Structure 1
Amino acid sequence: MKIDTLGVQAFVAIADQGSFKGAAERLHITQTAITQRLQKLEDFLGVPLIERTTRSMNLTETGRTFLPQARRLLAELSAALVEIRETGMAQRGDVSIACVPTVGVQYLPRVLQAYSARYPHNRIRILDHASSAVAHAVLHREVEFGIKIAGEHHPELQTAPLVEDSYVLVCHRDHPLARRRRIAWRALSDYPLILAGDVSGNRSLIDAALEGSGIELHSFYEVQRSSTALGLVAQGVGAAVVPGLAIQKDAYPSVRAIELIEPAITRALVLVTRRTASLSPAAQALYDMLLGQAASERAAQPRGR
């Protein structure tokens, strides 16, 4: 059944304005057009909605009953159209993303604050996974896009560079190395360490970077998340190697972060999407803001860095 929205709109305007002339002015059309729209609606319904004479105009009993329903119909239609339009403008919508846990400590929150200020009605669902699981979630459409460690990936996925992140040593302020500003990886061989397990993409990246150097790290404790390592360090359990982004400012006042050199090992974080994916407007807006943040940070870095 085809709903005559123009006829309903004309009927409500006539009832509200009390005249065909007033309704025509309100809708910016001619009186003839208003009359034709009402007549078409009445013909469709098979009953008159308005009694009109040369001197007066009144709603019929059916018209009085139908009026509140007609107003509600137009209000619901208007709200639905506004919602669709705002969704297309990224002003409304839910976004699902996946990311390695350390991204959620300090990097992602900065962008999310700006995003929420611009799109306050949008909800964001975040799955914090190991790097390989982030790729899996994107590939299998569990999320719209992800943030993972750069590396080999499925041919159906594509990546865009986001940020470079250096690995650092974290230790308790009472640790023998706590006063150092930087330390060579080789010097860590003398200390029991808290290191990432094999599931973490960080472990494989560090092992690959140190391969052939003769440097051997002693993993006394093995964890899957940098947040766990930081908690252990804060209690004086040992020293740990974690990505710099894992350290939240002022979260652990007793923990010191020391630059690791010889070699300086970094990881590249990338945005990952499916090659054939068309992101929702809300997700595309967040994706673009992350790229914009990355570009701004790269531009702010000293030349030659």
Structure 2
Amino acid sequence: MKIDILGVQAFVAIADHGGFQKAAETLYVTQTAVTQRLRNLEDFLGVKLVERTTRSIALTSIGKDFLPQARRLLLELSSTLNEIRETGKARRGDVTLACVPTVGIQYLPQIIQEYSALYPDNRIKILDHASARVAETVLRREAEFGINLAGTNHPELTSVPLMDDQFVLVCRDDHPLARRRSLTWAQIQPYPLIFSGDVNGNRAVLDSYLGSKSLNLTLHFQYEVQRSSTAVGLVASGISAAIVPNLGIQKGSYPRLRIIKLKEPVISRQLALITRKAGHLSPAAQALYDMILRAK
């Protein structure tokens, strides 16, 4: 049902000021506009609210009964609109974002701490998914925005580059390579490795480099897992060394781990912020989005 707010405003103003001209001045419109708004409301309701003569106006009995309700309606509407406006100004509300799991290990925690200090009442929901699922979650409006691997995006998504995350070798301090500060990819070929598989998009990034004609390297991936955190846990148990993104290693969590840079070539995956092209972030989400951009 269509609610004629302009008609209700005109009716209350006429009743409060005792005439059409003063009502028009209060509403900053012409007298003709006030007359038309009242007429539209009366036509919609199918009753007369105001009786008008050449010298005076008076509310009908229905108009008198309706006046308190009309005032309450306008007051509640004004209160609701002000609350929404103040919520927007204060950037209050809940935020849901999606991200690849490694982003939540090192990158997001400090940003979320800063955000929570500024907006302590805002709740944050993080959906940590594989790369393809992150994009799907944003498209389905389950999350307002996401942090994903850069690459070919859905035509309804827009992407803003965020940072590069370099692949490294992680091993335990008793591994034969543990004392090395850096290694070439060719130097790690003889060693069995753990790798997080296709589901997170990392394999495609590595294969595009290592499978090129200039390198044509075949690594010994003896173990395959779904998440980098699982790979790191296996390394800490002494199973094998692993190839993981640098962000996938939580500093200080496993004192015996060693992180070794890989070169020739240096291979990184690029992370990006993704949003729906036709979407608009809530004020609370926009504040977090901007904070992430400033931190890059």
TM-score of Structure 1 vs Structure 2, range by shorter chain: 0.7 to 0.9
Unaligned runs of at least 5 residues, structure 2 = 14-58, 67-71
Matched AA of 1:100: V
Under a length normalisation based on structure 1, what TM-score does the superposition of the two structures give? 0.71
Aligned to 1:196: 196
1:135 aligns with 2:135: yes
Secondary structure in 2 matching 1:165: strand
1:83: Cα distance to partner? 3.6
Q: Which digits, 9 at most, give the CA deviation of each residue in 1:243-302, with x for residues without a partner? A: 1111111111011100001110011100001111111111111111111111xxxxxxxx
1:81: Cα distance to partner? 5.3
Secondary structure in 2 matching 1:252: coil
CA distance in 2, matches of 1:250, 1:79: 51
Does the CA-based 8 Å contact 1:91-1:121 persist in structure 2?
no
Aligned to 1:263: 265
Aligned to 1:124: 124
Aligned to 1:286: 288
Does the CA-based 8 Å contact 2:197-2:203 persist in structure 1?
yes
Does the CA-based 8 Å contact 1:159-1:273 persist in structure 2?
yes
Does the CA-based 8 Å contact 2:102-2:247 persist in structure 1?
yes
2:228 is aligned, of 222, 226, 229, to 226
Secondary structure in 1 matching 2:171: strand
Aligned to 1:150: 150
The equivalences for 1:1-305 within 5 A come to 44=64, 80=80, 83-212=83-212, 213-294=215-296
Does the CA-based 8 Å contact 2:91-2:287 persist in structure 1?
no
Q: Which digits, 9 at most, give the CA deviation of each residue in 1:79-114, with x for residues without a partner? A: 755642332125311111100000001111111111
Higher mean C-alpha displacement, 115-124 vs 88-97? 88-97
CA distance in 2, matches of 1:244, 1:87: 38
CA distance in 1, matches of 2:130, 2:240: 23
Does the CA-based 8 Å contact 1:195-1:222 persist in structure 2?
yes
Secondary structure in 1 matching 2:199: coil
Does the CA-based 8 Å contact 1:165-1:244 persist in structure 2?
yes
Secondary structure in 2 matching 1:117: helix
1:196: Cα distance to partner? 1.4
Matched AA of 2:269: R
Secondary structure in 2 matching 1:205: helix
Under a length normalisation based on structure 2, what TM-score does the superposition of the two structures give? 0.73
CA distance in 2, matches of 1:258, 1:98: 29
1:214: Cα distance to partner? 2.1
1:44: Cα distance to partner? 4.0
Does the CA-based 8 Å contact 1:144-1:279 persist in structure 2?
yes
Unaligned runs of at least 5 residues, structure 1 = 8-39, 47-69, 295-305
Does the CA-based 8 Å contact 1:83-1:92 persist in structure 2?
no
Q: Which structure 1 residue ranges, 4+ long, deviate > 2 Å from structure 2? A: 43-46, 76-83
Matched AA of 2:167: Y
Pairs aligned (count): 238
CA distance in 1, matches of 2:279, 2:145: 9
Q: Which digits, 9 at most, give the CA deviation of each residue in 1:224-258, with x for residues without a partner? A: 10000010011111100111111111111011100
Does the CA-based 8 Å contact 1:161-1:268 persist in structure 2?
yes
